[in-house]
Amino acid sequence: MLTFMASDSEEEVCDERTSLMSAESPPPRCCQEARQGLEDRESAAQWRSQDSEEDLDEDADRYMCSGVPGQPSGLEEELTLKYGAKHVIMLFVPVTLCMVVVVATIKSVRFYTEKNGQLIYTPFTEDTPSVGQRLLNSVLNTLIMISVIVAMTIFLVVLYKYRCYKFIHGWLIMSSLMLLFLFTYIYLGEVLKTYNVAMDYPTLFLTVWNFGAVGMVCIHWKGPLVLQQAYLIMISALMALVFIKYLPEWSAWVILGAISVYDLVAVLCPKGPLRMLVETAQERNEPIFPALIYSSAMVWTVGMAKLDPSSQGALQLPYDPEMEEDSYDSFGEPSYPEVFEPPLPGYPGDELEEEEERGVKLGLGDFIFYSVLVGKAAATGSGDWNTTLACFVAILIGLCLTLLLLAVFKKALPALPISITFGLIFYFSTDNLVRPFMDTLASHQLYI
Amino acid sequence: MTAAVFFGCAFIAFGPALALYIFTIATEPLRVIFLIIGAFFWLVSLLFSSLFWFMARAITDNKDGPIQKYLLILGVLVSVLIQEMFRFVYYKLLKKASEGLKTINPDETAPSMRLLAYVSGLGFGIMSGVFAFVNTLSDSLGPGTVGIHGDSPQFFLNSAFMTLVIILLHVFWGIIFFDGCEKKKWSALLVVLLTHLLVSALTFISPHYGINLVSTYLIMVLMGIWAFFVAGGSCRSLKLCLLCQDKDFLLFNQRSR
């Protein structure tokens, strides 16, 4: 449902150009189901089980999974820890990149800090004379937004339960189409305006068309992993920028807090919609929506074509080794990993060797909300970089802690609460306490 | 001011730290994580110092006058104390973490305490330097004339050099501090604290950049030499390294003499 939520909100983006978008809510989750997957399928051919691990790992938006090949538990713990630091860095880099893009845009392009109306989901204005009224309005805005999100989540869980896959899939494609074409066009227009660069329409058309088409292919079908990751980061940044523009100030902060709480509840409570979605997906052994998860996983399969019926007859020929990423052609039908043939052909009796490097997956909603927090800090601080940097470090630390908890508890965990809590604490304390102190020190040229 | 000022000052202040990061830390994920946690600890210490200063100001009801200057000086000194305290807390945390890592992964070599001392010092230094200088740097991109009201026109250069020396000093202090904690030599900790206080106190005479900067750089060189010997270096190893005759290093890099 996380994925559903995301696609839903994106679809709304598509629908309402003027009435604007809803917040993305899919709460993030970490999950680790590889072990279960493998235990279930130990008899199957190895690559098949690896496939289902992939399926299970390919969870909804905002799932963070550190897959560990099925091993006895002690070894598994070691492997988890051994991979732990690398996984953390594999997530630090894209999160940092997304935040850098958002902050750079906020600081240079005026468009995203101008107030030009509000979302239909935050109807109450914050231009009220009294503080109490403003607070009340922002709380009401938050309530409306969160209830819309909850309703959409439940709707999507229902859709998923009743197997309306085509509907969901089409929805997802529509959403990413809108994101990749419309928002890119607007963004490009604003950047060109800021730097006073002229671009003629044919060039613009060519650029946006190529960007969008390659993006659609990479995200929904197959493409080089790096390109897919880059596109996912870019669309997360675009969404975050739109939120930063259209959410009024106090509402944004309250919404961030409320989303973290909702995330916690939805993922950890037994009746939470996200948990139900994951469990349903597990029962059916299906992937959910690969298009809305950032994946740093690479799957290398070294072995004979025993696993791949299509290449059975071609054992004699040398194949080019390929590094394949997790990718799915259509919903519910995982594509089989392409076989990475050894350079020596014609060893039909050879045993299958498989090497698998598991990466981590983080849902795009996490990227979006982290970037919204840092972007808001950059937009509203009075040109102060210290606040932005403090929020950035706080979010990274939160992510680190969440991954540590994942390694310890080995179950689905939400990725938003800790990071957003740290981010909010550090935003408010840095803005109100540290900034005056550092400014006074700087004006007297004192160093601590 | 000009882009030259911006880039020049940025690279003066952060160039060595960036080089240290790229060549020693960026390749190992665990070190990056410890660096960021170190930066976080410095940030928390700054938060507490600001809280103290804020409360002190609130108690004196924000009256203007010399009392504000004294409060600021007190704030700076308390801040230094809190930073060193957090360095100690970070040391304790790292000790527990490396013991934990060792019990879980007995085969894999956990980073040594010396390495962690360096990484933590760099984390503290980078965060400290960035917080001190980044706002000044971003102002240097805007319009203006430095020193138009009679202040020194070398404001940016001075700030850049001061930031650089603070970053390097934090690295050296980190190494010395952790070594002192490991060997239970509390005098080392005291010296670190005192030199930090001295460096901050020297900035109180701020418009006289000459004395300020030169003495701080002297202190940095002394700390650097001490940290070098504490980290296991010796005159002999330095000579071998400079003359490219260090066998271990050469073997490691598989180069011939």
**How many whole angstroms separate alpha carbon A298 and alpha carbon A322?**
11
Q: Is residue A5 part of a domain?
A: no
Query: Do residues B113 and B98 lie in contact, with contact meaning Cβ atoms separated by under 8 Å?
Result: yes
Residue A125, chain B, CB below 8 Å: the answer is no
Nearest by Cα to A375 from A198, A206, A236, A205 = A236
The sign of the dihedral angle between the CA atoms of B145, B150, B153, B155 is negative
Residues in chain A: 448
* 8 A C-beta contact, residue A302 and residue A50: no
**Number of structural domains in chain A:** 1
How many whole angstroms separate alpha carbon A288 and alpha carbon A55?
Answer: 8
Q: What amino acid positions of A are annotated as catalytic residues? A: 263, 366
Between CA A420 and CA B195 the distance in angstroms is: 37
Are A393 and B40 an interchain contact pair (Cβ–Cβ within 8 Å)? yes
Q: Kindly give the parts of chain A with pLDDT less than 50.
A: 1-73, 82, 300-356
The strand pairing partners of A330, in sequence order, are A333
* Average pLDDT for chain B: 89
Cα separation, A48 vs A3, in Å, equals 25
Residue partners of A217: CB distance under 8 A and separation at least 6: A223
Local structure of A64: helix, strand or coil: strand
Q: Least CB-CB distance to A397: which of B36, B49, B131?
A: B36
Q: Which residues of A touch B128 (CB under 8 A)?
A: 448
Inter-chain touch A446–B30, beta carbons under 8 Å: no
Q: Is residue A325 part of a domain?
A: no
Q: Indicate if the pLDDT at residue B218 is higher than 50.
A: yes
pLDDT on residue A294: 85
- Is A316 part of any domain? no
Q: Do B131 and A426 touch (CB under 8 A)?
A: no
DSSP string, A329-355: EETTEEPPPPPB--SS---TTPPP---
Contact A36, A76 (CB under 8 A): no
A188-239 pLDDT per residue, tens: 999 999 999 999 999 999 999 999 999 999 988 888 989 999 999 999 999 9
Tokens 């600001």 found at? B50
DSSP state of B132: H
Residue range B223-249: average pLDDT?
84
Cβ-Cβ contacts under 8 Å, B200 against chain A: 446-448
Residue A70 lies in a domain: no
CA neighbor of A423 nearest in space, from A394, A401, A396: A394
Residue A298 is predicted with a pLDDT of 57
Between CA B245 and CA B91 the distance in angstroms is 35
User: Chain A contact for B135, CB < 8 A?
Assistant: yes
Q: Which of A86, A397, A439 sits opposite B37 (nearest CB)?
A: A397
Is B146 within 8 Å of chain A by CB?
Answer: no
A430, part of any domain:
yes
d(CA A65, CA A335): 20
Instruction: Please answer yes or no on whether B36 and A436 come within 8 Å at the CB atom.
Output: no
In chain B, the percentage of residues whose pLDDT exceeds 70 is 92
Distance CA A160, CA B226 (A): 65
Which pLDDT does position A428 carry in this prediction? 94
CB contact under 8 A, B29 and A88: yes
Determine how β-strand A29-31 pairs with β-strand A63-66.
Answer: parallel
The counts of H helices and E strands in chain B are 9, 0
Residue pLDDT, tens place only, B26-35: 998 889 999 9
Please give the helix or strand (H or E) that residue A92 lies within, else none: helix A73-108
Q: What is the pLDDT of residue A64?
A: 45
pLDDT for A75: 52
Select the residue of A85, A92, A433 nearest B51 (Cβ to Cβ): A433
Residue A240 belongs to domain spanning = 83-296+361-444
Q: Which residues contact A22 (CB under 8 A, 6 or more apart)?
A: A9, A12, A119, A120, A121, A145, A148, A149, A152
Tell which A residues from 416 to 445 touch B, by Cβ distance under 8 Å.
426, 429-430, 433-434, 436-442, 444-445
pLDDT of residue A67: 38
Specify if A64 maps to a domain. Answer: no
Q: Is the Cβ pair A92, B32 closer than 8 Å? A: yes
CB within 8 A of A65, min separation 6: which ones? A30, A31, A32, A33, A34, A57, A59, A360, A361
Determine the pLDDT at residue B231.
Answer: 87
In the numeric block, which tokens belong to residue B158? 């001075």
Q: What is the model's pLDDT at position A404?
A: 87
Question: Given this model, what pLDDT does residue B222 score?
Answer: 95
Would residue A388 count as lying in a domain?
Answer: yes
* Residue A380: per-residue pLDDT: 84
Distance from CA of A72 to the nearest CA of B (A): 15
pLDDT > 90? residue B217: yes
In a domain, A160, yes or no: yes
pLDDT tens-digit map of B5-17: 999 999 999 999 9
The answer to whether the CB of B15 falls within 8 A of the CB of A414 is: no
| Three-state secondary structure call for residue A360 | strand
Is B134 close to A77, i.e. CB distance below 8 A?
no
Which residues are CB-neighbours of A53 under 8 A, at least 6 positions away? A33, A34, A37, A38, A67, A69
Q: Is the model's pLDDT at B235 over the cut of 70?
A: yes
